[in-house]
Amino acid sequence: MFSGAQISLYPMTGDFVGVITRALAALDPHRDRLRIETDDISTLIIGTPDVVFAAMRDLFAAAASSGEHCVLHATISRGCPGEPDDPICQTPELTGPMAPLDERKARAHQAVKDAAVIGQEAAAQFSLYTLGIDGHMDEIYGCIDFLKNSGVFEKSKNFCTKLRGDTGAVFSTVHEALVRFGPPAGHVTIDLTVSANSPSKR
Amino acid sequence: MFSGAQISLYPMTGDFVGVITRALAALDPHRDRLRIETDDISTLIIGTPDVVFAAMRDLFAAAASSGEHCVLHATISRGCPGEPDDPICQTPELTGPMAPLDERKARAHQAVKDAAVIGQEAAAQFSLYTLGIDGHMDEIYGCIDFLKNSGVFEKSKNFCTKLRGDTGAVFSTVHEALVRFGPPAGHVTIDLTVSANSPSKR
């Protein structure tokens, strides 16, 4: 298994470099379980999905606590057949046979219920892509059904689903979408946008 | 067929609202061929892929001409089985049988060669997802081969491919990736990030 994300942080302020630099300290508790590489468009974080999502959540919350309008975007992937297996990504969660959809939805709900409360409101939208399987829309519709009952569902949009709530519950919900839908060892990706402090109307 | 994109523009300046507002005029020549809806995370533009890409290109170039570090993100989709057919999206390009890969690559190269020169440098990265088909990686590898010879290829990254060049050629290349790979009536999506004026090193 290979899993991780290409992430970018966009603080809408002339001091965007300062906001990003100060937020980076939030990655420190996660660094020993991640491989990290940066260029001028994004930062690659490779690790198990739970660590990758905790790192994104803490980075986003740190940037948002500046009070500036901040957006985090992530291109998230697990199980891409074009990537090599990596020991830093090994997780028992993504092995074994695929459980029935209802069982997976129940586990996803429990995980979101148990999510840490961060105390920062986040709006988010994301698209889930389950690749290389027949009937990919069945998994996507199963996921959308989970999202509608996740407690952070805001609305369905064309091409994506929109969430709003505490940063902890929002990132936990997207994490569950990645690991519970599509086959355990399958190729699943997410296109995620999370926003805080927007002056725009909903 | 239903096709379009959820797009967001991120100017890294305290005057982000001003930069966005002034850039919106660039959409005017395209408005009569698009359906547009906006909320606090993104703007939906629905239309044929050629119009959607021309609109994104012109919006990005207008924002980037401010000189500020600006990023455009787009979640692009065509042929999603969960969306209704829409007359505004009808295009002869996305009907008929799937041509051989080499023929599609040749057409893609010709289109990029003919792309308008915009005079604004852009760095970009994107992921192509061909859904609901067996052997999805064959289409993705075919696309990557096209990208490597597109004239705007910068490097392969985990989960995506990075481009750099004139805004016209960059958007034309991503447009060709969307319409030439995967079956003509198939479900294909792209997660696209385009950046200008970044102070970060490559």
Spatial distance between the Cα atoms of B120 and B28, rounded to a whole number of angstroms: 20
* pLDDT number for residue A84: 86
What does the mean pLDDT of chain B come to? 96
Listed by start position, the domains of chain B span: 3-196
Across the range B54-69, mean pLDDT stands at: 98
Determine the pLDDT at residue A187. Answer: 94
How far apart are alpha carbons A44 and A55 in whole angstroms? Answer: 12
Mutation target to probe the B interface, by most B beta carbons within 10 A, among A2, A7, A8, A10 is A10
B160 residue type, one letter? C
Which CA distances in Å does A139 have to A51, A102, A132, B151, B182? 24, 11, 12, 38, 20
pLDDT for A158: 96
Instruction: Give the domain B3-196 fold.
Output: Alpha-Beta Plaits (3.30.70)
Question: How confident is chain A (202 residues) per 10-residue block, as mean pLDDT?
Answer: 97 98 97 96 97 98 98 97 90 90 96 98 97 88 96 97 98 98 94 96 78
Nearest Cβ partner for B158 among A4, A81, A191: A4
Would the pLDDT of B135 be above 90? no
Using CB atoms within 10 A of its CB, is residue A151 exposed (0-12), middle (13-18) or buried (19+)?
middle
Q: What local confidence, expressed as pLDDT, does residue B202 receive?
A: 78
For residue B142 the two structure tokens come to: 């075919």
User: What residues 77-106 of chain A have any CB closer than 8 A to a CB of chain B?
Assistant: 77, 80-83
Tell me the nearest-neighbour CA distance from A199 into chain B, angstroms: 8
pLDDT for residue A49: 97
Q: Of chain B residues 134-173, which have a CB less than 8 A from chain A?
A: 134-137, 140-141, 157-160, 162
Please name the residue of chain B whose CA is at the shortest distance from the CA of residue A20.
B12
Q: What share of residues in chain B are helix, strand, coil (percent, to 5)?
A: 40, 30, 30
Instruction: Work out the average pLDDT over B142-171.
Output: 97
pLDDT(B136) > 90: no
Residue A123 CB neighbours (<10 A)? 23
Per-residue pLDDT at B79 exceeds 90: yes
Taking residue B20's Cβ as centre, other Cβ atoms within 10 Å add up to 21
pLDDT for the residue numbered A93: 82
pLDDT at res. A89: 95
Q: If you count residue pairs, one on A and one on B, with CB atoms under 8 Å apart, how many are there?
A: 159
Look at the alpha carbons of A163, A178, A104, A60 in this order and tell me if their dihedral is positive or negative: negative
pLDDT (average), residues B102-131 = 97
CB contact under 8 A, A16 and B12: yes
Nearest C-alpha of chain B: how many angstroms from A45? Answer: 10
Task: Chain A: give the shortest CA distance to residue B180, in Å.
Answer: 18
DSSP-assigned states of every residue in A143-161: HHHHHHTSS-EEEEETTEE
| Whole-number Å distance between alpha carbons of B132 and A160 | 17
- CA A160/CA A147 separation, integer angstroms: 11
Query: What's the mean pLDDT in B25-48?
Result: 97
Q: State the complex-level ipTM.
A: 0.96
Is the Cα torsion angle B123, A16, A193, A36 positive or negative in sign?
A: positive
Instruction: Give residue B76's pLDDT.
Output: 98
- The answer to the question of whether A192 is labelled as a binding residue is no
